[in-house]
Amino acid sequence: MNRPHHDERARIREAMDRLLAGEATASNGSLTVVALAAEAGVHRMALLKRHVDLKNEFYERVRAETRQVPETEKRLRETVTKLKNTVANQKAEIEELRRQVTRLTFASAVLTHDRDERVERTPVPDNVVAFPQSTT
């Protein structure tokens, strides 16, 4: 590993220690990758691309040392909960629409049957020739 990356890694580890100790100097002190990058003086993409192991180590330490769930995981869990509620609501709505389609189909069949019976019972005057009923 070349020297600049080694220095970067050392700064990131020192920043981890400061953040976990609650002694942030260059960031807002939150336990996020953004705060870690700011505290270490590196671009956050360096953590996400070159130092993924350090990012994972940081989150493991957050979980172990502070007994907290990282903010990103909290947001993901909230999103998953919202999406599960949305899916449940949509399933209920689909079921209600299916029941409504069934009821409307039955109502249409009854109305069509009643209409056909009325047409057959209506007397036709002697001077009127009825057209044959279409089957469509």
Which stretches of the chain score pLDDT less than 50?
none
> pLDDT (tens digit, 9 = 90+) per residue, 102-123?
999 999 988 888 776 666 666 6
What is the reported pLDDT for 4? 64
What is the reported pLDDT for 105? 93
Residue for token pair 């336990």? 31
Domain extents in the chain: 3-68, 71-119
For the chain, what's the residue count?
A: 136
Percent of residues in the chain assigned helix, strand, coil, to nearest 5: 75, 0, 25
What is the reported pLDDT for 7? 87
